[in-house]
Amino acid sequence: MHLPDVCTEVVQLIEKVGHFIWSQKDKVAQKDVEIKDLNSLVSYVDKKAEQQLVEGLRALVPEAGFIAEEGTGTPAATYNWIIDPLDGTTNFLFGLPTFAISVALAFNKEIRLGVVYEIGQKEMFAATKGNGAFLNGNPIRVSQKKALKEGLFATGFPYYDFSRIQGFLNLLHHMVTHTRGVRRIGSAATDLAYVACGRFDGFFEYGLSPWDVAAGALLVQEAGGLVSDYKGGENYLFGGEIAVGSKALHREMLDQVQLFMS
């Protein structure tokens, strides 16, 4: 499998699915919205987009299975596509312009290919293992800031697991008062892509699923950044928590995450 060639075809597929999602942004009625879990919404747009992705990706790598947010397809023993057809569904349904498609290809638990398409801005972030990260075909790198106080950070607010919310709020207070600011835009895939291209200097969040972070984590790594769980280990894909940043800032940010969230 030549990953750059596969990535090119994935990008083309995602562009088509992104066009479908954008075409539906003002057409979803309240009756079309389902509540999966607490604060977790879904519509026919998510489901149809996922079906389109699965059909196209299955043709590209027939032996691969699927780990997808809406449950389309089944996992396989080795290769798996990890898919979020619409990361930022709540933004999409409420008319906010930030939402993305996230697609990754994993071999066992190692991400080999990752693509995040920020639909509203028509920004395609793509990476394959060992070949760097790109935005609309141009190479990208993480921020070169040297100190936490110089950085702009992103996070996501807890929306169903509130067991650690006090620690999170204490962490947020510290980050707000010791950095250039903290943003919450409602799409973890987009947050990670923005770290990869240097718009954000770091990102931390808990309560996440593999499809939220798989593609974006590879983007950050291939752009020269570091990715870990809150303990500083590698269980960020299935562990439900992630901390990413440039090599210069990751440790300093992680120290604060561990101080307040452990």
CATH number of the domain enclosing 256: 3.40.190.80
CA distance 218 to 47: 25
Sequence-ordered strand ranges (E) for 159-218 = 181-183, 202-206
Tell me the pLDDT band of 41, cut-offs 50, 70 and 90: low
In the prediction, which pLDDT does 38 show?
56
Same domain as 186, residue 132: no
CA distance 107 to 135: 24
Q: Is residue 154 within 8 Å of 200, Cβ to Cβ?
A: yes
CA distance 3 to 110: 14
In the prediction, which pLDDT does 31 show?
79
- The residues, any chain, with a CB within 8 Å of residue 154's CB and separated by 6 or more, are 182, 183, 184, 185, 191, 194, 195, 200, 202, 203
Same domain as 108, residue 18: yes
Same domain as 173, residue 134: no
Domain limit, last residue, from 107, 139, 171 = 139
> How many structural domains comprise the chain?
2
Residue 211: name the closest of 98, 92, 72, 97 by CA.
Answer: 72
Same domain as 79, residue 98: yes
Question: In CATH, what number is assigned to the domain containing residue 102?
Answer: 3.30.540.10
The pTM score is: 0.96
The mean pLDDT value of the chain amounts to 94
Domain limit, last residue, from 139, 160, 178 = 139
Q: Is residue 119 within 8 Å of 101, Cβ to Cβ?
A: yes
Q: What integer is the mean pLDDT of 144-157?
A: 96
Biggest alpha carbon distance in the chain?
A: 50
Same domain as 165, residue 82: no
Same domain as 92, residue 66: yes
In b/e form, how buried is each residue of 103-137, taking b as 16+ CB within 10 angstroms?
A: bbbbeeeebbbbbbbbbbeebbbbbbeeeebbbee
CA distance 134 to 193: 10
Same domain as 196, residue 99: no
Query: Which amino acid does the sequence have at 73?
Result: G
* Domain that residue 179 falls in: 148-261
**40 pLDDT higher than 80:** no
R_g over Cα of the chain: 17
pLDDT tens-place string over residues 194-250:
999 999 999 999 999 999 999 999 999 999 999 999 999 999 999 999 999 999 999
CA distance 27 to 24: 5
